Chains A and B, each alone.
Chain A
Amino acid sequence: MLRLSRAVCSMPTRAFASTAVAAAGSGGDKLPGFVHKVVDEDVPQDGEMVEMNLFEAVNAAMDVALDTDETACVFGEDVAFGGVFRCSMNLMEKYGKDRVFSTPLSEQGIAGFAIGMAAMGSTAIAEIQFADYIFPAFDQIVNEAAKYRYRSGGMFDVGGLTIRSPYGAVGHGGLYHSQSPEAYFSHTPGLKVVIPRSPQQAKGLLLSAIRDPNPVLVFEPKALYRAANEPVPVEDYEIPLGKAQVLKEGSDVTVVGYGAQIYVLEQAILMAEKELGISCELIDLRSILPWDKDTVIDSVNKTGRAVISHEAPKTSGFAAEVSSTIQEACFLNLESPIQRVCGWDTPFPLIFEPVYVPDKHRVFEGIKAAIEF
């Protein structure tokens, strides 16, 4: 399969560079587009902090995992030299070729091999180079990893398994370097699915994923690998799985998203609050499976309106699950139809990316529709 060169893939994209500029212009955080200061209580604030981008935070998490667990191994295509996105940089030199290694180019092999390691009680941190290429491993992940404990009556499990993979729009990724496949996996009991939005989140969530006694998929927003910067604790810390985070409190509408889309949502919220004079509540789901229904339900019961947004196509996307849950739990409090602002139901196109992605203008319209119904 086609693989973009490192030089091409790891460059911040034009689309992203523009939001980063916008962020700088707004005088806020160094995270692209992020102006609301959020202190995450799960992230220790009192120890040493180092400014990191997202790939450095992923690297730091794997460094901690390898350092604290002798059974842990990191592997995948091109992992040994540092990875095409630099996430495993220097780890082979530090921990040895038997713990950080490149595999043959076969996703089903990577997943199957990782499952075998995990079944022996080892910690397997496998990388799929792009989420678009996780589908050859779908059988191993869905039929094997997810069902390993259940089908054996709990005799065996592959809890030591973590699969990391870059996901999402990157400006010019076309059909096979842009996909967001989380909904496929959200339909699979036995798996956990996590998507961080920032370097701090990436380190804490990845360490939780690696140590969680269940197989976990971690989709990393590749657009943020270099674009997102923030101070990250040097120490070992974990952010709990299955917990959403309210990034901004508000009273008129609940806006739900995850991953890189959070920055789009934030921009849309800034526009909506300014132009419509409303107050938006922004929630980062962080975990797709299992997901934090309570936080979303509590919020919508308060605001009475909901907008859910993701890059993945609309039909059967994860927003459908969130929407249906809100409708079941918040029926009496809903004041307008739940809005889903998603990618169109097409493959992810190259030149049409600017009109394919659910950008801030489309999200703004979604918020407006929820408010003005």
Chain B
Amino acid sequence: MFRLPALAPAVARAALRAVAAPGAAGARTAALSTGVPPAAGVGYPGAEEASFTTEFEFVDPETAFPMFQLMGPDGKFAVADDQRPAIAEDKELLLKMYKVMNTTQIMDTFMAKKQRQGAVSFIMTSYGEEATHVGSAAALTGDDVVYAQYRESGVLLWRGFSLDETMAQCFSTQADGGKGRQMPVHYGSKALNFQTISSPLATQIPQAAGAAYALKRSGKDAVAMTYFGDGAASEGDFHAALNFAATLECPALFFCRNNGYAISTPTKEQYRGDGIASRGPGYGIPTIRVDGNDVFAVYEAVARARTLAIEESRPVLIEAMSFRIGDHSSSDDSSRYRPDGERDKWAQVAPIPRLRSYIVERGWWSDDEDKELQDSLFADLMTAMRKALADKKPSLDEVFTDVYDELTPDLVAQEAELRVHLAKHGDKYDLGVFAPSTKA
């Protein structure tokens, strides 16, 4: 039987407490065990379970949170055959994972080139983090609400977001559900239960707590899943979110992509604790750290976290360790702050080749199929891009809509003012790119 830490409720709580005081094993345990329990009724309300101790000690944990891994960089399982996760035998699922991970990567390369050529204004790639997207998305159901930061396009692709929809958003065409208002990569999809991405970091984290609370009240067996980076976790909203989710008993999954950098800032300058995972127990939240380059570990962690969150109405924190192989964005050159060769080293242990080794070894995949996949994806991307380039931008009718449910008198007046202006000076603007107005 496959075993993981933090499973059954009682086990989870015990594990949590153990982890809550890393280093508790050994000397410290001995010190704590000599403590005098508070007499009945005199435990301070702020920490009722704390024992008294006469031994002076600053708690200063040194032991790092363990990192859950099932498959190493060589594509071989690190666990015995009978402890492999059930999905190890699920050829169909694994091939879908592999294909979506490749789609993410090939789309990133394609779009990055188009950005360099000036065809699109901005792009952010996900190189090295494809397993965190696909492994986690595969463990969710369509009822689960997703809140993303911006580097999670694989989650949307997994859920069925088409290349046409991707291109429509990045090229701000009239086919974009977001009506061309936001920068590229700020995807959203009502049909896919994926809340629209916004630029301010970490704002989505407390929102996910609130969404989870509403889901719980509605009686749905669903969680709110939110993704964020190690940098975003320094925002106040991260703190608010975890504390709210714990105290208000929300089935929210907090998924941190710890990729080592927030733009140019290495994690050493982001925090001095043991990553993001070490913070979870402080909030009373069951927590696990996983190898984010191992799609099996990510999948198992999220699947089990989801079950725990729903069954116990509790949030779970998952810290997926990986490395941001690409630049932060198309506006960034990471060679200015990262040592030469670092990204090559991480490419060696990247998630895609790791899963590839496994499926090739099983005889489920071949070099020829890789070539076919790449060729067909490239052709699909070209088709989708040509379509997006040929499409009109949204109509100017959409400048003023959706600020409120209805146009206010001021907005009606300002729209009229704009139309009068354009009637006079339309030749100074490139109005031909916009779809025609549907207004008389």
Chain A residues packing against B (C-beta within 8 Å): 71, 73, 98, 101, 103-104, 106, 108-109, 111-122, 124, 136, 139-140, 143-144, 147-157, 159, 189-190, 192, 213-214, 242, 290, 293-294
Is the beta-carbon distance between A122 and B217 smaller than 8 angstroms? yes
Minimum C-beta distance from B254 to chain A (A): 13
Q: Is B409 an interface residue (CB 8 A)?
A: yes
Contacts of B195 in A (CB 8 A): 119, 152, 156
Contact of B241 with A by CB under 8 A = yes
Partner of A112, one of B178, B240, B409: B240
Of the residues A71, A113, A192, contact of B209 by C-beta under 8 Å: A113
B402 and A150: CB pair below 8 A?
yes
Tell whether, in the assembled complex, residue B205 and residue A112 are in contact, meaning their CB atoms are under 8 Å apart. Answer: yes
- Hey, which bits of chain B sit against chain A, CB under 8 A? 145, 176-179, 181-182, 186, 188-190, 195-196, 198, 200, 203, 205-215, 217-218, 224, 236-237, 239-241, 243-244, 247-248, 398, 401-405, 408-410
10 closest Cβ pairs, A-B complex: A116-B210, A112-B206, A109-B240, A116-B207, A120-B214, A113-B210, A152-B196, A153-B179, A116-B211, A153-B178
Partner of A155, one of B177, B186, B206: B177
What CA separation (Å) do A101 and B247 show in the bound complex? 11
A139–B247 CB distance below 8 A: no
Question: Given the interface contacts A116-B209, A116-B211, A189-B403, does A155 sit within 8 Å of B178 by beta carbon?
Answer: yes
12 A–B contacts from the bound complex (CB under 8 Å): A104-B247, A106-B240, A108-B237, A112-B207, A112-B237, A113-B206, A119-B195, A120-B218, A122-B217, A151-B186, A153-B196, A242-B408
Q: Is the CB of A117 within 8 A of B210?
A: yes
- Contact residues in A for B208 (Cβ distance below 8 Å): 116
Compute how far the CA of A213 lies from the CA of B404 in the bound complex, rounded to whole angstroms. Answer: 8
Collect the chain A residues with CB atoms within 8 Å of residue B205's CB. Answer: 112
Which chain B residue shows the least CB distance to A121?
A: B214
Q: Which of A98, A139, A159 contacts B217 (CB 8 A)?
A: A98
Whether A213 and B405, one on each chain, are in contact in the complex, defined by CB atoms closer than 8 angstroms, is: yes
A112–B241 touching, CB < 8 Å: yes
Instruction: Report yes or no: A143 in contact with B401, Cβ–Cβ below 8 A.
Output: no
Q: How far is the CA of A143 from the CA of B207 in the complex (A)?
A: 13
- Least CB distance from A298 to B in Å reads 14
Q: B408 — which chain A residues lie within 8 A by C-beta?
A: 242, 290
Question: Complex: how many Å from CA A155 to CA B192?
Answer: 11
Q: Is the CB of B190 within 8 A of A156?
A: yes
User: Across the two chains, which residue of chain A brings its CB closest to B182?
Assistant: A151
| Chain B residues in 8 Å Cβ range of A155 | 177-178, 188-190, 196
Cβ contacts under 8 Å, B237 to chain A: 108-109, 112, 139-140
B245's closest neighbor in chain A, by CB? Answer: A113
| Best-buried of A98, A151, A159 by chain B (most CB within 10 Å) | A151
When distances are taken between beta carbons in the complex, the residues of chain B under 8 Å from A119 are 195, 207, 210-211
Q: Is the pair A149, B243 in contact by a Cβ cutoff of 8 Å?
A: no
A104 and B240 form a contact (CB under 8 A): yes
A242 to B411, CA, bound (A): 13
Q: A124-B210, A152-B402, A156-B190 are in contact. List 9 more A-B contacts (CB 8 A).
A: A109-B237, A111-B206, A112-B203, A116-B209, A120-B211, A140-B203, A151-B196, A153-B177, A156-B188
Query: Within the complex, which residue of A104, A114, A189, A242 is in contact with B243, where a contact is CB–CB below 8 Å?
Result: A104
Q: Min CB distance, A140 to chain B, in Å?
A: 6
Which chain A positions have C-beta within 8 A of B409? 242, 290, 293-294
Q: Which among B206, B217, B239 has the highest number of chain A CB atoms within 10 Å?
A: B206
Q: In the complex, which of the residues B189, B198, B211, B405 contacts A143, with contact meaning CB atoms closer than 8 Å?
A: B198
Q: Contacts A106-B239, A112-B205, A119-B195 given: A150-B403 contact, CB under 8 Å?
A: yes
Other-chain residue from A116, A151, A189 in contact with B178 (beta carbon distance below 8 A): A151
